[in-house]
């Protein structure tokens, strides 16, 4: 779990006075991991790194510009993450566009199989995949079939966390019980070690928790959009519900699709569909981005590292998406240090003052 030499040098350049023991750049010195083994967190029966990596972009051509020529870089990114202790990878059976449907799962399976490190490290990898609530998935058995298909694509015997990708309560409430019974069936058949949900609001989250508990199935995780851009009442209520019921909150889009990286401005927008959203939101983010930048400079961190660390300090497991080794290295720099209470207050005050917020996922329920 030791850092590679190049990664160590990278972290050394960002290591501030508050981040603990400094990271030496000499190849003859001790190399420190981005987090210690006792800093792993529990998701039900699973022990995972305090941050995972998301793989939405792996196969998505429309939003993230995926090309199969990127696969070598993605594999290097995966290897770097695993070598540095990251063992949680989030995916979905719907990640991938058109003929590349399921590509994210296939790539993860390939990368796990070809990983050259210790088998113990390989076996420690936790895959959290999500099953789409497609309108033709109307019975528990259809969700079991979907789970087996994911197992085949990932080439593993058991999925770490099997998650419902979204609830149908808003538009097809009669389908909802089939989704829930599908989770029960996956768990009872031993296809998954734990079950979770994604895009469930606080009220629906309590309902499925009670439903599963009555059938002997613990709900171990709830995945929602959670960041300094998504501090709405619903998100904070979801966090409170998770804390009270012992559900681990997994924070997707901790960088607001890239708006909290500091890379983009109203004059410098990303290509593709994200540009429309960024054009609406970025002009109102000056107070928040200014506060993040100020803390980043003081801590000798980067803007993304501060934004991700905020999610960790709030007791969530952030899963920033990664496409390159450079992104993975930078995200790893969000670990092994902690924002102070005053800095958390400063960031949250700035987030409240910013007139624009992230648009909520249309599939999230109440």
Which residues, in sequence order, are CB contacts of 260 under 8 Å at separation 6+?
227, 228, 229, 254, 288, 289, 292, 303, 304, 307
C-alpha atoms less than 13 angstroms from C-alpha of 319 in its C-beta half-sphere: 26
C-alpha atoms less than 13 angstroms from C-alpha of 193 in its C-beta half-sphere: 17
Provide the 8-state DSSP code for 234. H
Which residues, in sequence order, are CB contacts of 119 under 8 Å at separation 6+?
none
264 among known catalytic residues:
no
C-alpha distances (whole Å) from 271 to each of 69, 264, 279 are 19, 11, 12
Instruction: List the structure tokens of 252.
Output: 């997707």
How many Å separate Cα 337 from the centre of its chain? 19
Q: Are 335 and 51 in contact (CB under 8 A)?
A: yes
What distance in Å separates the CA atoms of residue 105 and residue 93, rounded to the nearest whole number? Answer: 7
Q: Are 143 and 182 in contact (CB under 8 A)?
A: yes
Q: Which of 10, 66, 95, 252 is catalytic?
A: 95
Catalytically active residues, by annotation: 95
């Amino acid at each position: 779990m030791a850092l590679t030499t190049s990664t160590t040098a990278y972290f050394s350049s960002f290591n501030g006075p508050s981040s603990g023991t400094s990271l030496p750049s000499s190849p003859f010195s001790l190399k420190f991991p981005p987090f210690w083994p006792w800093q792993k967190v529990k998701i039900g029966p699973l022990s995972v790194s305090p941050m995972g990596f998301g793989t939405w972009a792996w196969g998505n051509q429309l939003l993230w510009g995926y090309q199969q020529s990127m696969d070598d870089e993605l594999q290097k990114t995966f290897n770097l993450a695993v070598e540095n202790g990251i063992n949680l990878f989030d995916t979905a059976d719907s990640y991938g566009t058109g003929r590349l449907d399921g590509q994210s799962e296939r790539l993860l399976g390939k990368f796990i199989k070809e990983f050259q490190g210790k088998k113990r490290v390989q076996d420690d990898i936790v895959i959290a995949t999500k099953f789409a609530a497609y309108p033709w998935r109307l019975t528990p058995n259809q969700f079991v079939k979907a789970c087996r298909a994911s197992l085949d694509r990932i080439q593993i015997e058991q999925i770490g966390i099997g998650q419902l990708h979204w609830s149908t309560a808003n538009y097809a409430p009669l389908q909802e019980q089939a989704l829930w019974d599908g989770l029960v069936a996956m768990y009872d058949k031993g296809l998954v070690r734990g079950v979770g949900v994604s895009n469930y609001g606080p009220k629906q989250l309590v309902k499925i928790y009670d439903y599963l508990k009555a059938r002997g199935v613990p709900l171990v995780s709830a995945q929602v959009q959670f960041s300094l851009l998504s501090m709405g009442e619903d998100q904070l209520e979801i966090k409170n519900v998770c804390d009270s019921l012992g559900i681990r909150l997994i924070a997707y889009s901790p960088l607001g699709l890239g708006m909290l990286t500091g890379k983009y401005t109203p004059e410098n927008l990303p290509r593709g569909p994200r540009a429309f959203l960024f054009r609406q939101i970025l002009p109102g983010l000056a107070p928040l981005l200014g506060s993040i930048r100020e803390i980043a400079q003081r801590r000798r961190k980067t803007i993304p590292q501060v934004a991700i660390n905020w999610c960790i300090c709030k007791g969530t497991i952030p899963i920033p998406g990664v496409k390159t080794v450079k992104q993975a290295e930078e995200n790893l720099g969000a670990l092994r240090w902690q924002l102070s209470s005053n800095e958390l207050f400063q960031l949250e005050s700035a987030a409240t003052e910013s007139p624009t917020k992230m648009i909520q996922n249309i599939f999230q329920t109440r």
